[in-house]
Structure 1
Amino acid sequence: MTQPPPAHELVIRPLTGPDELSLFRTLPYVLDHELADDLAAGLRRPEWMWVALRGDRVMARAAWWAQTAGAAPLTLDFFDLDDTLPEPERGETGLRLLETAMARLFPAGAERPEYGRYIPPDWRTDPVARDAVEARMRAVGRTGARLLVERLRLEWTPGTAAVPEPGGRLVFRAVRDREELVSLMADVLDGTLDAHSRASLESGLSPRVVADEQYDEELTQYRSPGAWWRIAELPDGDPVGFVLPARNNYHAIIAYIGVLPGHRGHGYIDEILAEGTRILAAEGVPRIRASTDVGNVPMARAFERAGYVNFERAVNMVWD
């Protein structure tokens, strides 16, 4: 008969099944309410959800998420530590959990999904929040990851922000086909301030390949119709940019927005964002979510002018 491990011994293992979800939820995070539905939809699997236990106490946890059922993990989006633990025990526990889980899930040489975490908007000035954020980033960093970007998470809510009115300078129409949109997506990568896009370009991929991959791997996964997507043109038919309002597994979102290089600096972004907001507002959605890099100041200001509120931030770390 197998004897249980001593109560003081750290045990690191995946969940045995969905019935252990309550154990996993012992440590809190803002996405806890999505776990049950994600498991049912196949976006998570028990073998992707790991805990570090000392007796019955969860000392740390980690979990990966896939964009669609049957797909490989896309993001390490849960990584929590028991913040009552002293250092270095807290960090060492998190490090051991990550190293053990990733060795099982991602064999040597396999690409590791990026780490993403939602954090309070004031995390740098709140000592408790800053300690928690930095402890997790240190542990992830010790596995070889580096910070890629910090992002603003934004929200527009009916009733607290007015539906933007058309500006009158641009004409909007539906996207004709994949080729038209991908071509415009490739064009807006010239001078992009988006860290993920820049990283892809700096890796040696051409703008066209980056655009093709984003279309195939991201845009095709949305639950909303492509008929919502809009091309912005001048009255003479010259394309200025585009906006892709959409619905993912959880929220209505501004999935992608861009202005072509030759038309930047004229304030067109406000009218293009307003069009995307109007389309989603007309669907009666309770909120619209969006995000942009902290370093993309022009886009952040456009969202602010449109009534989007920065309710949260996110950090993304990657393994090279």
Structure 2
Amino acid sequence: MNSGLTIRPISGPDEIELFNRLPYVLDDELADDLAAGRRRREWMWVALRGDRLVARAAWWGRGGDAVPRYFDVFDFEAGRADDGAQLLSAALAAVVPAEAKPPEYGRFVPPDWRDTPASRSAVEERMALLEGAGARLFVERLRLEWLPGTPIREPSGRLAFRPVRDREEVIELMTLVLDGTLDAHSREAMNRLSLVEAATEHYEEELALYRSPREWWRVATLPDGEPVGFVTPARNDYNPIIGYLAVLPAHRGHGYIDDILAEGTRILAAQGVPRIRAATDLGNVPMARAFERAGYVNFERAINMVWDGKLGE
């Protein structure tokens, strides 16, 4: 079945150029990720016919992780789906610990991928291989970008803004926000955990790891000090971002989201950033419309797939 196909992890940084012979938007980050420990050579796999790269796969983690957190590179040459399937099978078996569930898979795709035959075919073929390995579609997300020069909504005067007090306040607000959330990842967490546990997990695994000052985070309040919502403008390892944006359930439906997003955007814009990135689920229409009103452009989408159990189950 292998028929001359060599499947193996890369030897190290010296093979990044080989790995990047199949292009993808993350290629410029791979060398830095490897040097920083966000990737490891044993998490980056290639399939070769002679010295020709025909398929590749890579996982991502945080520095010090013993196992990867995310599967985010999977490519194969056109017409080489069988090679891609063999690579996927071998790499999953090697990278994912025995008796463990594979980490979530994510792929950035063009915003109009369904309307372009070549893009649609490539996305669907890749998804079919992953489904053959046991994965299923979890959610499709909009990737959004604000660029300098885009107007920022002026404060309406309806809300006041103050820095967050501490970790406990953020988790308390996040716990309240989970009531009625449209976010697929949050809903999945709520199926496993209590509301406060789900909020704490999100805080510890994402917000607490941002590289930027917590002083940027803002709680929006009514004039009497009652919290309405909050926003966490931040920097992750790659970009300035709107990390979390929410209105508390009791205050939804009044247009406060526009003021809160504008405040977060204003804080990052004041740092002279080259861009601001954000994301929301395709099905979270109210949030997507808020970003659109704020001048954020949908420049990509993301396809997220998950395994519900261990490999082979």
Coarse TM-score class (shorter-chain normalised): over 0.9
In the alignment, which of 136, 142, 160 is matched to residue 152 of structure 1? Answer: 142
- How well do the aligned residues superpose, as a CA RMSD in angstroms? 1.2
Name 2:244's counterpart in structure 1: 256
Deviations 1:95-148 (CA, angstroms, capped at 9, x unpaired): 211111111111331131100000000100001111111111111111111111
Q: Is 1:236 matched with 2:197?
A: no
Q: Distance in 2 between matches of 1:175 and 1:163?
A: 22
One-letter code aligned to 1:221: L
Name 1:195's counterpart in structure 2: 184
TM-score of the superposition, structure 1-length normalised?
0.94
Deviations 1:125-177 (CA, angstroms, capped at 9, x unpaired): 00111111111111111111111100000000012x11221121011000001
Name 2:100's counterpart in structure 1: 110
One-letter code aligned to 2:8: R
Q: Is the 8 A contact 1:269 1:302 kept in 2?
A: yes
One-letter code aligned to 1:196: H
Name 2:311's counterpart in structure 1: none
2:72 partner SS: strand
One-letter code aligned to 2:109: I
Name 1:140's counterpart in structure 2: 130
One-letter code aligned to 1:117: R
Deviations 1:203-245 (CA, angstroms, capped at 9, x unpaired): x311100110111111111110111101011001111110000
Q: Is 1:217 matched with 2:205?
A: yes
Q: Is the 8 A contact 1:41 1:69 kept in 2?
A: no
Q: Is the 8 A contact 1:121 1:310 kept in 2?
A: yes
Aligned residues: 307
2:234 partner SS: strand
1:312 partner SS: strand
Name 1:186's counterpart in structure 2: 175
The CA deviation at 1:57 is: 1.3
Q: Distance in 2 between matches of 1:105 and 1:70?
A: 13
1:169 partner SS: coil
Name 1:3's counterpart in structure 2: none
Q: Distance in 1 between matches of 2:67 and 2:241?
A: 23
Q: Is the 8 A contact 1:91 1:138 kept in 2?
A: no
2:176 partner SS: helix
Identity of aligned residues (%): 66
One-letter code aligned to 1:269: I
Q: Is 1:292 matched with 2:280?
A: yes
Q: Is the 8 A contact 1:164 1:274 kept in 2?
A: yes
1:167 partner SS: coil
Q: Distance in 2 between matches of 1:245 and 1:173?
A: 13
One-letter code aligned to 1:298: P
Q: 1:18-97 counterparts in 2 under 5 A?
A: 18-70=13-65, 72-83=67-78, 85=79, 90-97=80-87
Q: Is the 8 A contact 1:68 1:221 kept in 2?
A: no
One-letter code aligned to 2:178: L
One-letter code aligned to 2:23: P
Name 2:234's counterpart in structure 1: 246
2:87 partner SS: helix
Name 2:153's counterpart in structure 1: 164
The CA deviation at 1:69 is: 4.3
In the alignment, which of 269, 278, 293 is matched to residue 281 of structure 1? Answer: 269
Cα separation, partners in 2 of 1:154 and 1:263, compared to 1, 3 Å: same
One-letter code aligned to 1:116: G
Unaligned runs of 5+ in 1: 1-5
Q: Is the 8 A contact 2:67 2:96 kept in 1?
A: no
Q: Is 1:16 matched with 2:31?
A: no
Q: Structure 1 segments of 4 or more deviating over 2 A? A: 67-72
